[in-house]
Amino acid sequence: MKTVSIAVLSLALAAGATGTATFAHTVAGVPAQDNAAKQRKEYDDYKKIEAEQDPAKKLELARAFFDSDPTPTYVKYVQGQVNAARYALFTRYKDAGDLANAAKIADEYVASVPETDLFFAFQLTTLAEARALKQGVKPEAAGAWAEAAKYATKARKLIVEDNRSEAMLYDSKTTTWDKVKPGFVAYLHRIEALAHFAARQNDQAEKSLLAVIETKCDAYPDVYFLLGQIHNARYDDKANAFNKLSAEAQSGEQGQKLLQEAREESKKAAEFFARGILVAEASPNKEAYKAVVANARKEMEESYEIWNDGKKDGLDEFMAGFKSTCQP
């Protein structure tokens, strides 16, 4: 994703951004002689705000400016400085991994310029994801992943349900939103899936993982591997339930039904592992997936063998059947 400079963001959004809950202002009636002096002071105050390099101090000066009940002359220019300062602070917090303060300043920016909500929702998603990844995709990190999913869900709904686009998130000179949109939506579905997976909510995780594949099937090989793990877990549940039955029940209708269901789960696991391997091997980043693919191949072979009555016969043909498409 391209980086948006403070200057570009400020210039793009300053126009029409003169209203804000934090920096409210009114126009007071004053005598003409006093008005000239007041505007001169406001100009001097504006130049001080403009010259201030520290974004936090810039916001303090801007707050004092708006508290002085200014005339309209320099309001939009000061508001432009406020926007720039807020974005600078957001970038500072984001770079420091400070999600709480980044979210707070983002809320202030969006309150002033509502059309930036998708931009900040996406940025907060990536920040929260980076924090969650440090803990791994495991139950202990469920809270961190839930935080990332909160922003991901907001961004996804803005794109899918509200049909929003955001040129500041991609290079609009070389491509179009329609072309990059599936990648954004797939990424956001994946964050939601990882949150469910970490919380051991496999049914919800499955829905989000399948949504990733449906949106952009070649984007993330790991979603296939996660689906393989989900079906392996379901195989274990069926197999354990079968093992708890008496010998008579195992050979009866209930036992045979469990065995068949377990075999089907193994087949589905093998299919997803196979598809993920093929997507990974076709990826420009296939070198990064080497270790994951090696493990997935082992799990695929084990699942296939369970489904195929303990034999590996036909495994190559089984794999070849998924080479024509990555769609479900």
Residue 271: name the closest of 215, 327, 319, 214 by CA: 319
Tell me the CA distances in angstroms from 114 to 15, 85, 159, one per residue in order: 13, 17, 15
pTM here is 0.84
Q: Which two tokens stand for residue 288?
A: 């990064």
Q: Quick one: angle between helices 290-307 and 221-243, nearest 10? A: 40
Tell me what pLDDT residue 11 has.
Answer: 34
Distance (Å, rounded) from C-alpha 235 to C-alpha 265? Answer: 5
**Residuewise pLDDT in 10s, the chain (328 residues):** 444 433 334 333 443 333 444 454 444 455 666 778 888 999 999 999 999 999 999 999 999 999 999 999 999 999 999 999 999 999 999 999 999 999 999 999 999 999 999 999 999 999 999 999 999 999 999 999 999 999 999 999 999 999 999 999 999 999 999 999 999 999 999 999 999 999 999 999 999 999 999 999 999 999 999 999 999 999 999 999 999 999 999 999 999 999 999 999 999 999 999 999 999 999 988 899 999 999 999 999 999 999 999 999 999 999 888 887 776 5
- pLDDT tens for 58-108 read 999 999 999 999 999 999 999 999 999 999 999 999 999 999 999 999 999
- pLDDT tens for 23-32 read 544 444 556 6
Tell me what pLDDT residue 72 has.
Answer: 92
Tell me what pLDDT residue 39 has.
Answer: 87
Tell me what pLDDT residue 16 has.
Answer: 36
